[in-house]
Chains A and B, each alone.
Chain A
Amino acid sequence: MDILRAVLIFGTVLSPLVAAAAIAATGFLGRLQGRLAAPLAQLGAAASACCALAVLISRMGADATNESPLSLGRWFVNGPSDLLRISFGLRFDALTAGLAAALAISVGSLFAGRRLQVAESPAVRWLPLGGSLLLFASIGVTASTNLAELFVFWEIGTAVVYVLSSLSAENAQQAVAARKVVLVLSVADAFLVCAVFILAAGFGALDFRVLFGQPDVWVRAAGQRAGLVDLIGLCILGACVGRCGLVPFLGWIGSLASGPHRLAALIEAIALLPCGAVLLVRCFPLLNSAGAILPLTAFVGGSSAFCLAVCAVADTDFRRAGCFACASVLGTVLLGLSTGEPTSPSIALGLTIVFVPSATAVLLADVARKHSTGRRWSIAAIVLLFSGLCGQAWLLGGALESLFAGTGRGTPALLLAVLLAACGQYLAAASLVRSFAATGRDADEIFSAGQAADRSPRAESSPGLLLLLASAALGAGLFAAVANVRAFPELFAGRTLAYAALGLLPGIGGLVAGAQSARAEWKVFPGEAVNGLLMRLGRGGFYFDVFLFLFVLVPLRGVAGLARFVDWAVIDTLATGGPASLFESAASFFGPLQHRGVFFYLFSAVLGTFVLSLLMIWLQG
């Protein structure tokens, strides 16, 4: 049984990697590569999904806390007494296996649509390879057993995202978007690596079970080394914020959507956002102990949900709106985790499982055309799920409960965050429903800008594909609900249920408002001044990019210019200008050597050997 479990776990993680290797190998086959790449990627994803589902079935009802992970041994050890050793291990509890299955099904479905016609485009040609690698990296992040291992998979994902987005850049705007993505992701990586090193230096361990197996340890650590815990929490938060495109790094999300739609789905729904959520869930005990960071976490979560939702409502491009709306879910996740409720990580992971297929479907859907009945129903199901029935309501309800009756009672930051997140949830749901509910004629009017490039047949997604993704999302939602209820029966206690019902209201309100707005013109906020201002801010991505450019990149360029001047005018002069006379003397001796013949050099070598020999003899004496 253990062997079977090991095979299944290896199969889940390594199938995409094997598929990627096979796709890379087909590069030597010339024209066959184009035909084989997508089926191979599908095959890898399908194998991974099957293995993950098998693991999931075997994991249902088992207690994962007492089970040792599948260890693959040490990958890199620097020295005998060095703490920083990277070991690989894999562990799948039920929810993790569910997330892996959801990721694999979503990636498989990305390549299951109509065959891509533009075979010459490098981005399209390399998408199966990149998709397989991204799936490998995301499953690796999900199943990792220690923070160093998580960082390795995280970085692989960053590199693949960068290469894919850069390859797809066909104009200046997309090139800028790719550069923006990598700038932000680099910042996130730097935050995460800081967290890894501080944990290793401060606590001497990186394994999740050692670090977070006993939450009491972190309560004690927060009391004794509060600054250190806050610093690590800040680093984890920074990594997640950069990775998920939350405030203030939300600019790249809209830019990303300007590329190919499959690429946007792959990057946002598969690679980046789930990994950020998994990191937060894994480090929840640490985050919960960082007292000074929790209000910041709540505020960032709430404001991100709101800002991203406003961007979604304000944007006339469906795909961009979809990207923003999907990302706003992560804001709610952040808010829910900041309340410190013990059920939050499990609910957040469940929401992530639902998020992956539903966000993939949203980003693949093409609403600028008339939909068939099947497609409309499938999309409606996704939207319904997406709007929060299976997680957002619980997280928002948990935040409300914490605000009114829990540890965060009366906290202004939490109050503000809850209000912003509720508004965000309402707006995100409204924006999505408005997009989906629009019929062909209305869509032409509503989404007139930025859609011309997607009117080609290849941009169309089949109803079957969307139904598949909707089914996956439904199944994931049911599974997550069952798993969470089994793990935390108190979720259905009266008061918690009441707060969850309260948390459901913004989503339902958004559904109604979105349906209404599809039929008539809709003003999001009452009052022309507020409405106009927010729509302007939303269209500009709240101008966070401008702030980052003005306050980070421009000063950095200035400092770099100053450094060049100092290097040239001061350091160079001091280092080599001081002993100029000796320098000139040496130059006057060695300068003419270049004009001499080969015998001169041979003679010099002999002479040098003689002088050195004399020196050695003298020293020996």
Chain B
Amino acid sequence: MIPAVGALVITIAALRSKSWGPYRVATSGEQPEAVRITESETETSPFCGIAIIFAVCAFVAVCCLSLFGRSLSLKIMAGGNDCSAAFTLLTTAAWLPVIALARRSDHKRPALLYGLLLLLEASYLAIFSCDHAIWLCAALQVNSVLLYLLTTGWSEQASEGLAKKMLFVNLAADFTILIGLMGVVIASARISAPEPNTIPTLTYSLSEITRELPRLTTDDVAAQEYWKHAQRSLLSILILGAAIKAPLVPFHAWFAAVVAEGPPCVAIALVGAGLRIGLYLLARFIGPLCGDLGGVADLIVGLTILGAFLESLLTYGQANLKKMIACICLLQASLAFAGFFSMRPENASGPLILSLASGVAGVLIMFSLGYLELRYGTAELAGIGGIAHRLPNLAAVVLLATLSLVGIPGLFGFPGLFATLGAVFGGEWTLAFLAIGSCLIGAWALFTMLQHLVFGSLRLPVPVAGDVLIDRESPLVATLDASDRPQGDWNAEASPREWSIVTAGKSGSIDLSAKELLLLAPLLASLVALGIWPQAISAALRFALAGSSLSP
């Protein structure tokens, strides 16, 4: 509710100030391309502050409820278990960088942007915490529409067609899940009344259904027969819906494009929370109903690993860094799917950890890439490199997150990846080797990205008119005007001047400030702490999965 209230507050504030439109307008005679939104100007936007306050409140509330809810005997959420808590925590932690990076896009209708972003957070939190089937489906569809509106409204590069494609695929997934869940609800009601004269009990509580349905179908022969016929079609629909929502190959094509070309805040939201919905639904609601899938599970594992291999090749072939990160996140999502179907559902904490870790690391890297765009005012990250020399904080964040994605022990990415790959080895070994191969290719791509972006000699983009130059060699700050064109060999200089789109006198540093590091602190802390002590989350997830799994 907190983000939704935040959106309401922003709406009221906007109505009072009557400033839905752009809050910075180019003065007459000023060239549009010379108008750059500066850091100081963005900081003055009141809506950003409101949004950050509510995002922080949501994070703190979810933290407190997750940590102390059980000991105070509070029913934490509607879904009410640690699996939900983990995903909601990830979402709220990811929303701090989402709001921070929305500054890049808020030159157009900022109040609407921040309001929609808070609503988007609320929809994600509803998805991860809802236990009611109808509300879950409603939240899924609202989420899809909000993503579409944000992508079309605040995108600098994404085409209308791309946003429509995203909307179409997501709505298709939502409707598939709606049909599947309604089918399960009706089947559950039918099974609850085995005698012709008894009144069926219609319940929309998914945790109750997943708890009761396997028990009822074990006890009663007639119910068993009925469920045997219904199970195949219902589970097929639900798994298909989860796969489309995930999005697995072949429903993935829109994802990398939207991440790369859409607004940076939407990219972080998609990588952090959007990509986790499919696996969450699978682990929480679909998995407990599956039972022993037999050959179907092997088929799903095979297809998802083939998809993961394709994603690894796409990762390796990418020149665009954002698309590369999107592809590696898709690769890990596919592996998590494969791992989930390779093991018993109560053992599936490994794939869930992999998904969470991928979200944490993905958000950090996407934030860093978006931050570089924000600072240098360019989306062409191919020209930027060697940031370890001048932006050590940012380089450290990228390095940690990338090593976590690769699966280095001591970071959050390792336990999930290790357990998932180990689970895949429990099945067909050819597929397992393919999974290892895809991880290897993905790791090569990431190391190449690190080599390009973080290490090596310093490379910065050529400044254009309107940019403010900060030269550390001298205390003077000079603005580059149209007559002072940069030299042709700017990139080739041994130690090029630093430049950034900050207002003179407001900021002398282009690295991550303490405030920005504070926004990333929850994610960074989880990346390291859960890497050193993975049992903390593994035990909680195991407990949650065991509680919800009564499959025969």
Contact = CB atoms under 8 A, between A and B. Distances in A.
Contact of A166 (B152, B254, B318, B455): B455
B153 A594 contact: yes
B314 A563 contact: yes
B418 A76 contact: yes
B475 interface: no
Interface string B472-507: 000000000000000000000000000000000000
A163 B398 CA distance: 12
Nearest to B249: A571
Interface residues of B, number: 84
Nearest to B416: A78
Contacts of A608: 138, 142
B440 interface: yes
B408 A159 contact: yes
B415 interface: yes
Interface string B399-419: 100010011111000110011
B447 A162 contact: yes
A185 to B, nearest CB: 10
B36 interface: no
A193 interface: yes
A317 interface: no
* Residue from A74, A76, A200, A574 whose CB has the most chain B CB atoms within 10 Å: A76
A556 B436 contact: no
B436 A590 contact: no
B455 A598 contact: no
A103 B409 CA distance: 22
B403 A194 contact: no
A575 B253 contact: yes
A579 B415 CA distance: 40
A590 B164 contact: yes
A70 interface: no
A78 B347 contact: yes
A5 B186 CA distance: 65
B436 A190 contact: yes
B158 interface: no
Contacts of A200: 422, 425
A170 B409 CA distance: 28
Nearest to A152: B409
Contacts of A582: 168
B440 A559 contact: no
Contact of A82 (B138, B419, B440): B419
B455 A169 contact: yes
B330 to A, nearest CB: 11
Contacts of B343: 78-79, 82
A61 interface: no
A568 B327 CA distance: 14
A576 B165 contact: yes
B428 to A, nearest CB: 11
Interface string A179-195: 10011001100100110
Interface string B448-488: 10110011110000000000000000000000000000000
Contacts of A74: 535
Interface string B306-334: 00001001101110000000000000000
B534 interface: yes
Given A79-B347, A178-B455, A598 B165 contact: no
A244 to B, nearest CB: 19
A612 B134 contact: yes
Interface in B13-50: 14, 20
Interface string A72-85: 00111111111110
A620 B199 CA distance: 12
B313 A186 contact: no
Interface in B495-552: 534-535, 538, 542, 546
A479 interface: no
Nearest to B145: A590
Interface centre among A155, A183, A198, by most chain B C-beta atoms within 10 angstroms, is A155
A586 B168 contact: yes
Contacts of A153: 409
B443 A186 contact: yes
A92 B409 CA distance: 23
Contact of B316 (A557, A574, A575, A586): A557
A228 to B, nearest CB: 10
B388 A586 contact: no
A200 to B, nearest CB: 6
Interface in A143-185: 152-153, 155-156, 158-159, 162-163, 166-167, 169-171, 175, 178-179, 182-183
Given A169-B456, A571-B249, A576-B253, A183 B149 contact: no
A198 B432 CA distance: 10
A563 B253 CA distance: 12
B148 interface: yes
B301 to A, nearest CB: 14
Given A186-B440, A197-B421, A583 B409 contact: no
A114 interface: no
A564 B257 CA distance: 12
Main secondary structure of the interface of B (DSSP, over half): helix
Given A594-B149, A620-B202, A175 B455 contact: yes
Given A186-B443, A563-B313, A575-B253, A78 B168 contact: no
A530 interface: no
Contacts of B149: 593-594
Contact of B202 (A170, A186, A560, A619): A619
Contacts of B355: none
Contacts of A75: 534-535
Contacts of A598: 11, 14, 20, 112
B441 interface: yes
B182 interface: yes
Contacts of A619: 182, 185-186, 202
Nearest to A170: B457
B526 to A, nearest CB: 16
B389 interface: yes
Contacts of B267: none
B310 A567 contact: yes
B21 to A, nearest CB: 11
A556 B444 CA distance: 11
Interface in B155-172: 160-161, 164-165, 167-169, 171
B68 interface: no
Contact of B451 (A152, A171, A179, A574): A179
A591 interface: yes
Interface string A550-566: 00000011011101101
A466 interface: no
A527 to B, nearest CB: 42
A179 B447 contact: yes
B317 A561 contact: yes
Nearest to A595: B153
Nearest to A621: B202
A583 B318 CA distance: 28
A201 interface: yes
A122 B388 CA distance: 9
Nearest to A190: B440
User: What 9 pairs across the A-B complex have the smallest Cβ distances?
Assistant: A79-B347, A560-B317, A563-B313, A572-B253, A84-B422, A197-B425, A587-B164, A78-B419, A166-B455
19 contacts: A76-B538, A81-B344, A152-B414, A155-B409, A159-B403, A159-B408, A167-B388, A175-B456, A179-B448, A186-B440, A186-B447, A190-B437, A193-B421, A197-B422, A201-B425, A560-B313, A564-B314, A575-B169, A576-B254
Interface of B: 11, 14, 20, 112, 134, 138, 142, 145, 148-149, 152-153, 160-161, 164-165, 167-169, 171, 182, 185-186, 202, 249-254, 310, 313-314, 316-318, 343-344, 346-350, 388-389, 399, 403, 406-410, 414-415, 418-419, 421-423, 425-426, 429, 432-433, 436-437, 439-441, 443-444, 447-448, 450-451, 454-457, 534-535, 538, 542, 546
Given A79-B346, A200-B422, A594-B152, 8 more contacts: A84-B419, A175-B456, A178-B451, A186-B443, A186-B444, A190-B437, A557-B316, A564-B314
